[in-house]
Amino acid sequence: MGVFNRFYFLGKPLALCGTAGFLWAQLNNDNDIDKEKLKLTINQADLICQGFKEKQGIPGVSIGVTMHGSFVWRKGYGLADIEQRVPCTPDTVMRIASISKTFTATLAAQFVEKGKLNWNDKIDKYHPDLPKFLFENVPVSITVRQLASHTSGIRHYWKKGDPETDAEFNLPEYYIARPFPTVTESLSLFVNDELLHKPGTTWLYTTHGYTLLSAILERISDDKHSYAELLNDLITKQLDLRNTKLEYPDEIVPNRSRYYWRRSLKEGLRNVAYVDLSYKWAGGGILSNVTDLLLYANNLLQCRQTKLVSSDSNKQLLKSETIRELWSPIVATNRNNTSYGLGWMIAKEQPSSINQCSIPSHIYHTGGAVGATSIILIIPCSNNCSNPRCGICISILTNLQSAREIYQTALDIALLFRHVSSCSNDSKL
């Protein structure tokens, strides 16, 4: 790993190789990048990623970065399959876990644009067959916006009266192994359970809430398409995402990773238990790789920054005003300086202890699944330039359950590339 200097943002250490200190100092006073500076940045990002893998004991890591719409770095580390000694590459397909929620929010936003869905409508307007939700034995109503922003009160993996826990992977619902042939059947897991809080009053993360949102999308779609068909027709086909799909355990998936866990760093790796994610496809059941995720992220970034009125051209998934609404804070989360919008986390700009530097506003989503940890992070242009592709996108996928510090690792690397060129007007890419 070599000798590291430490730079501090908000008092938190960012580990960088000694040569990166020179790089940062130079780039703060020099906006005209060249390939040599980009190469230096990739070297420093490589060291950070290696350190992340080694510190967490992760079998395989896949990472990709884009600057202003162009791929500048993709790399795999370690093994996708330990027993067969299969290398992990940028093409390795893994569980993306809760990043799936961003896809479901995008689908919902497309229906909003078509006039078939309204964020502020009560959900029983679209799904009248649902049982009435109760809070403290009193019937209450839930809106579509509350479902998408985790303020509905619908439970996560524990029921009312059960102790809340940060050790989610000890909860039995993570390890459901039976298939649910339809989204409607998966609703039976939670729709009759009492809400954990009154809708609209508290942020409480819930994967089941996104299962319900997907059931609504199926109801309002033309010809009552399944969630799998909606994902394929409205996103993956549109963007030619060839490795993004729902996980079916028995399907042959080229380049699919194996998944691992360990009780502690002192213990050896183990294969994870068999699970079937059909009960939560919309909230945590999608497979992808970093290449597809970056194509998706850049499309959304371009949607936000484009001046086009319609989303029908250039394969744009959404209108600018729509993605801006998705990326607008609705409720504070349990993470400092972070709010939740509609399917996305939003971190506002933060000052730093270095006068000329700050942590820019960014949008992201992390994911944790049985045997996998993931993140997608986007830093839009802060200069209001004319290039709708301007910005930094990064995705990291791992095949280890509960890999810590993935958010900080992604942010640190994204900031490195942003300091090479924070705006495409400054770039020769």
How far apart are the C-alpha atoms of 371 and 83, rounded to whole Å?
15
Known catalytic residue: 98?
yes
The conformation of residue 339, written as its DSSP 8-state character, comes to: E
- In the set 98, 186, 221, 402, the catalytic residue is 98
Residue 389's SS3 state is coil
What is the CB neighbour count within 10 angstroms for residue 9? Answer: 19
* Token pair in block for residue 11: 């008092």
Could you tell me if 227 and 281 are in contact, meaning their C-beta atoms sit under 8 angstroms apart?
A: yes
Distance CA 27, CA 172 (A): 50
Report helix, strand or coil for 71. strand
**Sheet strand arrangement including 345-347:** 86-87, 70-81, 60-67, 391-398, 372-380, 362-369, 345-347, 338-340, 331-332
Instruction: Count CA atoms within 13 Å of residue 286 on its CB side.
Output: 32
Residue 231, number of CB atoms within 10 A of its CB: 26
* CB crowding 21-32: b at 16 or more within 10 Å, else e: eebbeebeeeee
- How far apart CA 233 and CA 427 sit, in angstroms, is 35
Tokens of 135: 């809070």
DSSP summary character for residue 247: -
Six-digit token string for 6: 């430490």
- Alpha carbon distance 289, 272 (integer Å): 20
> What is the C-alpha to C-alpha distance for residues 116 and 234, in angstroms, rounded to an integer?
15
SS3 content of the chain, % helix, strand, coil (to 5): 35, 20, 45
Burial label for 240, CB within 10 Å (0-12, 13-18, 19+), is: exposed
Structure tokens at 364: 């992201």
β-sheet bridge partners, residue 157: none
Q: Name the residues annotated as catalytic.
A: 98
